[in-house]
Amino acid sequence: MASAAATDRQADILRPSGQKALLIDGKKISEIVLAEVAAEAKALTAKGLKPGLAVILVGDNPASQVYVRSKSKAAQACGFHSVQYDLPDSVSETELLARVDRLNSDPAIHGILIQLPLPSAIHATRVLERVSPLKDVDGFHPFNAGLLSIGDLERALVPCTPAGSMLLLERAAAALGAEISGADAVVVGRSNIVGKPMAQLLLSRNATVTIAHSRSRDLKAIVGRADIVVAAVGRPEMIRGEWIKDGAMVVDVGINRVPGQGLDAQGRPKTRLVGDVAFGPALERAGAITPVPGGVGPMTIAMLMANTLRAAKLSRGLS
């Protein structure tokens, strides 16, 4: 059980929703993480170690441009050495690999991020695996995936979305006086980016973990027994609110754009964002739940900054 003091410290992190569930405020928690990263980066810089992050963007995908701007802005706010390479769609795979090689050998760069998706002519896996595992702040390299799979969290760079989701769960558990250790956890989704690493993180905290997916038989029953539900399947409101066990902690990783009501200022049909969990009904059953937007999303960039800081420290043998 969490102490009263620990629960009190969570009061400004989890805000009551007016329903049974508490809302896990990912935006506020991400701000706390970023402030901690910035403070430690400042201290490291004073000792001659300035964390460096390089972001490579290929093409002019509008969504990718927005994400990259957000990442670069966060890196600068944290006091990092931040560089961004905007490359045209016409860049060859050979040229892109050469750019990665140069960054791998640059001592001022501790983290390298390749913004996805890449043009179809480029073999994305080959490019991602070219990044040095020590600078793989996305946590996608097979070396880091292997470290995570054997439970070596001291050396692994963990994918940012699962890492952020785990932090949200820890805060929720503390606020509710719940335990992750021994809990029955279900991860709905089996991707290499979220589902599988999320399951490994939960295992490292001694949860009993089930990985379910869109083809699981009787998904309702699987979800219904879980103390912890992490939804990362990429289907809008696939997890029904009435499936949620009373008092369960729910982390909704899904971000799905669906039709809204009416027209926008340009006369186009409005859209809205929903998660993989039917949020309204889930509020009536869950103990704590992440909203969409404002839950897991902000944590991804915050954990990218934390990974960059960690990579810089590991480069000097610091814990």
Catalytic residue positions, numbered: 71, 115, 138
d(CA 225, CA 246): 9
Task: Judge whether 139 and 307 are in contact, CB under 8 Å.
Answer: yes
Distance CA 301, CA 72 (A): 10
Read off the tokens for 40. Answer: 């430690």
CB 299 within 8 A of CB 150: no
- Please say whether the beta carbons of 209 and 197 come within 8 A: no
Cα–Cα distance for residue pair 231/38, rounded to 1 Å: 30
User: Which residues, including other chains, have CB under 8 Å from residue 51's CB and lie 6 or more apart?
Assistant: 41, 44, 45, 78, 79, 80, 81, 110, 111, 308, 309, 311, 312
Q: Please choose, from the candidates 94, 131, 132, the residue with its C-alpha nearest in 3D space to the C-alpha of residue 116.
A: 131
Q: Which residues contact 69 (CB under 8 A, 6 or more apart)?
A: none
Query: Cβ(33)–Cβ(301) under 8 Å?
Result: no
Sheet hosting strand 52-58, strand order edge to edge: 81-87, 52-58, 111-114
C-alpha span between 249 and 169 (Å, rounded): 7
| Separation CA 222–CA 220 (nearest Å) | 6
